Amino acid sequence: MELPINRNKPLVMHIDLNSCFATAMQQANPHLRRKPLVVAAYDSPRGCVLAPSIEAKRFGIKTGMRVMEAKHLCKDVIVRTTDVPLVRDVHVRLKKITKDYSTIVVPKSIDEVVIDFNPVQSVIRRPLSDIACEIKERIKREIGEWMVCSVGIGMNRFLAKTGASLHKPDGLDIITYENLRKVYSTLKLIDLCGISHRFQARLNTYGIFTPLQFLDSPLELLKKQVFQSIVGFYWYRRLRGYEIDNVEFLRKSFGQDYALGKQTANPQELSKIIMRLCEKMGRRLRNAGRAANGIHVSIIYNDYTFWHRARLMNQPMYTTQELYRGAQLIFNQQPERKIVAKISIACYDHVSSSKSQLSLFDNNEDKLRKVSDAIDTLNDKYGEFVVAPGLLLGMDNSIIDRIAFGAVKELEDLYTN
């Protein structure tokens, strides 16, 4: 029997800050407003465009292009690198605003937040469209008048995100069981969040070329032939407005990675990068009240080869120095020293840090852990790396702070209030 479209009220809202990295830059620098601007990882010709401004998008500039490609499309485009503290501040302010409306607020990326109104639907006294307009106004008032967002409202997270993508910038769309088919008729398969070119090709193989055909496909076809797994069942329900994406997975590891702007094989320079990655990872680990038994190091070289290794240590690692020693031990086991393009560090096999409670009297390990906690407190209050290991002295300009796309685990670890 075919599952009908979900007729429940649309109570899930997706908020997407439009061109967040670029718009935040324009908000902070009024002379950049109304001008084509791109925020890039590096401002060199081969630097990757992370975010084009709304004005730059009108020239066809897209995320993922090279800076030189953007300049071919618009010779006057302004290039800036990411102002990391600024974008982090925007994210924290956005989350603070949205938490006023429901008990379930889930950041999906640095510039996207989901608000689930199901737990508070009995006390809602106005349409969600009015609440969305209020949030838009609060964003302009509490974050900045140049900040623009698109809002989608639907029966599940998937449809809410789809709605937020329909009329960028500054859109507001509600998807209900009444207009769902009409919305799908305006989209392509690749427009659906989660459908990559690979999945599109797989759907095409079975005669599915449009979202409406996808919606009308039988469960057995999707589950047993197209996806050949439970993923087909998930899509069958997702497309009809039923919630299957609200699962929060337990964290299995903490990690940091860094792509080197100036690639090198110098072990001293690489050790400094490892120390900085371990310091950032360690703060998140300690903030969660955890210690780690294992550590993993992976390296991508400039010849596109890859090496990695993991190891369990004799005792849980808690301080930055303990994590650094473990990472450096693994790093030194490389079979061949080559020019490094990217380093990733992760710690895993977590235990509660309270289990490392020690003797009645302070020993050296106790003292180091207390010092580490005190340093974290100072850095939380006054800013990252205000107090830092001596190995990092003079590295402010040699390692650029980055924000990862698609996740905000680092921010959620450090800004829990």
Q: Is there a contact between 192 and 208 (Cβ–Cβ < 8 Å)?
A: no
Question: Domain 253-414 carries which CATH code?
Answer: 3.30.1490.100
d(CA 307, CA 329): 15
The reply to whether domains 6-178 and 253-414 share a CATH topology is no
Spell out the residues 6+ positions from residue 73 whose beta carbon is closer than 8 angstroms to its own. 59, 60, 61
Model confidence pLDDT, tens digit, residues 90-108:
999 999 999 999 989 999 8
d(CA 24, CA 140): 11
Alpha carbon distances (Å) from 196 to 36, 108, 203, 243: 29, 18, 11, 21
How confident is residue 324, by pLDDT bands cut at 50, 70 and 90? very high
User: What percent of the chain has a predicted confidence (pLDDT) above 90?
Assistant: 63
Domain regions of the chain by residue span: 6-178, 184-248, 253-414
Q: Residue 94 carries which side chain, given as an amino acid letter?
A: L
CATH 3.40.430.10 fits 6-178, yes or no: no
Spell out the residues 6+ positions from residue 157 whose beta carbon is closer than 8 angstroms to its own. 12, 14, 114, 116, 243, 245, 246
Spell out the residues 6+ positions from residue 323 whose beta carbon is closer than 8 angstroms to its own. 278, 281, 282, 285, 292, 295, 317, 345, 347
Question: Domain 184-248 carries which CATH code?
Answer: 1.10.150.20
Strand 172-174 versus strand 149-154 pairing type = parallel
Model confidence pLDDT, tens digit, residues 47-90:
889 999 999 999 999 999 999 999 999 999 999 998 888 988 99
DSSP tally for the chain: helices H, then strands E = 15, 12
Q: pTM, whole model, 2 decimals?
A: 0.72
- Can you give the pLDDT at residue 251? 61
Q: Is there a contact between 241 and 153 (Cβ–Cβ < 8 Å)?
A: no
Model confidence pLDDT, tens digit, residues 223-233:
999 999 999 99
DSSP E strand boundaries for 163-233: 172-174
Task: Check pLDDT > 50 for residue 194.
Answer: yes
Higher pLDDT, 114 or 390: 114
Q: Is there a contact between 214 and 189 (Cβ–Cβ < 8 Å)?
A: yes
**Please, what is the Cα angle at 47 between 46 and 53, to 5 degrees?**
125
d(CA 108, CA 298): 26
